[in-house]
Amino acid sequence: MKNSKYTKIAVIIMVILFVIVSMLSCTVHHNHSHSHSNHKSKKMPPGQAKKISGNKSAKSHAPGQQRR
């Protein structure tokens, strides 16, 4: 069976397209929501917040005890 010139060109084009599509579909996802070096975002305990603000009670700084 004799391969024609057009068949070889078509196969080469299909292989090149397959490689290009395969390369474009490779993506890298970075999770920006989790960082080990971000210590400032940690919540301060109510007792420590009380000391900084100068209040006598830590109740206003506790998450379940805040007034609305």
Q: Is the pTM of this model over 0.75?
A: no
Among the listed residues 17, 35, 33, the one whose alpha carbon sits nearest the alpha carbon of residue 25:
17
pLDDT of residue 52: 82
Confidence of residue 30 (pLDDT cuts 50, 70, 90): low
pLDDT of residue 24: 82
Distance CA 56, CA 65 (A): 15
pLDDT of residue 11: 93
Mean of per-residue pLDDT scores for the chain: 76
Over range 25-37, report the average pLDDT: 62
